[in-house]
Amino acid sequence: MSLLKAENITAGYGEMDILHGVHMELREGEIVALIGPNGAGKSTLMKTIFGLLRPRAGSITFDGQDITGRSPDRIVRLGICYVPQTDNVFPSLTVKENLEMGAFILNEDLSERIERVYQVFPDLKRFHTKKAGSLSGGQRQMLAMGRALMLDPKVLLLDEPSAGLAPKLVELIFEKIVDINETGVSILMVEQNAKQALKMADRGYVLATGRNRFEGTGDELLNDPQVAKLYLGG
């Protein structure tokens, strides 16, 4: 069943359109990868879904509701959380304080929610009193994802979760994404590391110049000669 769906999305910045009639669907329990060259519109689509950009045309539905053009604070309350590529932690706050900020809209004791995040990311528990700004790149990425999980989202939007990380940390981050998915969270992920993303994804979309170019299961895209030649380095 379709959980999140974007249809015929046209959106951009200022007067310039980046997306031209893009479509995407995320079903319950899936990991879906968005891949393509720089400037293809992947992050623009993510920001449009989350309400940071307003589409000029098209529609976005989530869990049967039309959420087209809604503000991020309303979208978060429905069960969609977004982890941007950069500036995704509060560097002057501790790990625990960052997690608390992830659930600032809730008026309740957050200790159980924090403990659930620590179960997914044990490193965060070890460093719970450290300032986020002192963490490594991989630890900051785990903290950003952990903060998003504080609201028990149905959908997690991840924009370039492996960007700038060493290969071993990339592997660890991808393992954690699978762990999160196995708890029941559906994941839409923009990722430059296309081969690894497609290996773990149920389905994928290839965007180019703001348009849908290819789509299929992760295996289908990995084994498509055209996709391999144009977007997977062979």
Task: Say which CATH number the domain at 141 has.
Answer: 3.40.50.300
pLDDT for the residue 18: 97
Full residue range of the structural domain in which residue 111 is found: 2-231
Integer Cα distance of 174 and 177 in angstroms: 5
Q: How many domains does the chain have?
A: 1
* pTM of the predicted protein model: 0.95
pLDDT for the residue 234: 59
Q: Please give the structure tokens belonging to residue 196.
A: 């690894």
Integer Cα distance of 133 and 22 in angstroms: 37
User: What are the pLDDT digits (tens) for 35-57?
Assistant: 999 999 999 999 999 999 999 99
User: What are the pLDDT digits (tens) for 142-173?
Assistant: 999 999 999 999 999 999 999 888 888 899 99
User: What are the pLDDT digits (tens) for 103-125?
Assistant: 988 889 999 999 999 999 998 99
Q: In what order do the strands lie in the sheet with 57-62?
A: 16-27, 2-13, 57-62, 65-66
